[in-house]
Amino acid sequence: MENTIENNVTSMPRIGDKAPDFKAKTTKGDIQMADFAKDKWIVMFSHPADFTPVCTTEMSGFATRKKEFDALNTELLGLSIDSIHAHLGWVSNVKEKTGVYFDFPIIADIDMKVSKLYGMLQPNESETAAVRAVFFIDPKKKIRLIMYYPLNVGRNMDEILRALKALQTSDEHGVAMPLDWKKGDKVIVPPPKNLDEMEARMKDDSCEKVDFYLAKKSL
């Protein structure tokens, strides 16, 4: 069955898929994924429930580091299976208690349609709350990286930003990123695809080589 919102099936989008389209109510008004944040990256993330402790720390993390996402041409888009009223109450409560303001749209997915469409509702973890998912969606609306965390473990904001920078740098320079790559580190030059390229790589002193298939360079 096709992965569309009309089918209302629990589906698991995969890396490389087009981000399934949907319309939704958010704390910043109605949105449609196909038109949302045109020409930008989107980091779309779910949290299990408003007014819960781990979620409050995570949403505060997205809010306090929003400028770093802005600088990476990236829009934030939150989601939980809660009503708009619950979202508004929580946003205003956190602002009053901590001074942190969730200044990005949060989807009120009370009918669970978006959660099911994006595989955020994983019934063996919870039948009513979305797991902690993060979808990295590129400006062509292609899903490029997916993270899923359970209800009881918060995500790592440094890793979310690192992964976003890695995807963008990989696209910009046609390179791959090694273990623990962070901005400024050497990157992996794509391996040769034929014998001529392999010979050329072995003579190429512009990159640091372990062997023909593993070569790194600075950007």
Q: Which residues in this chain contact ligand BEZ in the complex, by CB under 6 A?
A: 48-49, 52-55, 129, 151-152
Q: With left for phi above 0 and alpha for psi between -120 and 50, is residue 206 left, alpha or beta? A: alpha
Residue 108 C-beta: closest distance to ligand BEZ, Å: 17
Q: Which is nearer to ligand BEZ, 20 or 48 (CB)?
A: 48
Q: Which is nearer to ligand BEZ, 90 or 104 (CB)?
A: 90
Q: Which is nearer to ligand BEZ, 75 or 109 (CB)?
A: 109
Q: Which is nearer to ligand BEZ, 74 or 80 (CB)?
A: 80
Residue 49 C-beta: closest distance to ligand BEZ, Å: 5
Q: Strand pairing partners for 167? A: none
Residue spans of beta strands (DSSP E) within the chain = 23-26, 29-32, 41-46, 74-80, 106-108, 132-137, 143-149, 187-188, 208-211, 214-217
Q: 158, 68 in Cβ contact below 8 A? A: no
Residue 27 C-beta: closest distance to ligand BEZ, Å: 18
Q: Report the 10 Å Cβ neighbour count for 36.
A: 20
- Which contiguous run of DSSP H or E holds residue 200? helix 195-203
Catalytic residues: 55
Residue 126 C-beta: closest distance to ligand BEZ, Å: 7
Distance of alpha carbon 49 from the chain centroid: 19
